[in-house]
Amino acid sequence: MLVYILGVVLFALGICISVALHEAGHMIAAKSFGMKVRRYFVGFGPTVFSFRRGETEYGLKWLPFGGFCDIAGMTALDEVTDDERPRAMYRFKTWKRTVVMAAGSFTHFVLGFVVLYLLAVTMGLPNLFGTPEISQVSPCVQDARTNQQYTNPTCDPGAPAPARDGGIRQGDVIVAVNGQETPTYNDVVAEVQNLSGPTDFRVERGGEVIPLTVDVEKVTRPVTDPENPEARKLVDIGSIGVTFTNRWEYGAAEAIGGTAAFTGDLVAETWNRLLELPERVPAVVEAIFGAERDPNTPISVVGASRIGGEAAQEGLWELFFFLLASLNFFVGIFNLLPLLPLDGGHIAVTWYERVRDWLRKLRGKAAAGPVDYTKLNAVTMVIIVVGGAFVLLTITADVVNPIRITE
């Protein structure tokens, strides 16, 4: 239990650090362009301590749930003093304001990359997307009817070795079986288990796709009986005798490229999950009222911290850090959505002003004034209410029916 609590605390601390660095990203970008940053605080609520360095007040507040960076004149409606007005954010060029507003999300992407890089050079990156890369080619495949210890590496005399004899090597990626593309190892298994005899395979090796013919062996394996989950029965399935890579391990230099590729895949997957959020809300509601919790339903910071605690308790530190990196990517992408009050919403307004004034210039008209944010208050409040309801919903589900990685 102590390790679990430590894991929860460490994960929550990691989230707090992420948010603090998010705001630091805004601050550093604003200062680099000459904008005036009035305050930078970590946390909310009453102030624990603060100090002033130059024109900026830095401090810590009692509630460590985020932070804020107060830049003078973030919108034209913000009150600024006479000495602040020349350096008010709304007076700067569009691209500079865009960089400042996007700097928070950029910080999340950098932090997520750093966490994954450290994971790559220590514990290895998980084969999250099921890439069918071969980690080991077995010297044979054995049948459970003739050898109860069929997973024993000691082969029976004359036992077939389809993958080895067919030319499959360690490091190959199986890209197609019998003419069917196989993007994941589950796809490979699904194709192979229904086959027997000579079969066309295509593997990627050293950047080149190589055709091979593998004589798939039909063997007997014990599987769980769906009609009696406590019993096992023997079934005949196709087998070639390979083991797929569970994680990729790198040296310090090669981990940079490996982490970059993995980060790209993870960001794309995160975006897809973000698009699926609305359709997964009903399952969250059902989980609150007792239905089995779908592990693919969205979770809150509370749920993520609980999973982080369980990962620490089970010694699954690679899952702990992977989850922390994933959360940073999610926050980074979500924050760029063109919705107020998110940073992406402010960026959208900034570029609306830029395009609008460009069109006015083409028609020989003077530039219009800054967007009146008061006219957007109703839309902003709707987004805040919907977002708040979603957060409350996921927190409730994570308290009454949490997703667990252990039974």
Q: Which residues are marked as active site? A: 23
CA distances from 76 to 68, 84, 262, 357 (A): 19, 12, 41, 16
Kindly state the helix (H) or strand (E) to which residue 128 belongs, with its residue range: none
Bond before 126 cis per omega within 30 degrees: no
DSSP helix/strand/coil, 252: coil
Closest C-alpha to 8, from 324, 396, 345: 324
* Nearest-angstrom CA–CA distance, 320 and 79: 43
Distance CA 127, CA 143 (A): 28
Best CA proximity match to 173, nearest among 201, 138, 141? 201
Which one-letter amino acid corresponds to residue 259? Answer: T
140-149 contacts at long range (C-beta below 8 A, 24 or more positions apart): 140/164, 140/241, 141/217, 141/219, 141/239, 141/240, 141/241, 142/219, 143/219, 143/220, 144/219, 144/220, 144/221, 144/222, 144/234, 145/220, 145/234
- If 0-12 CB within 10 Å is exposed, 13-18 middle and 19+ buried, where does residue 141 land? buried
**Token digits for 161?**
């070795």
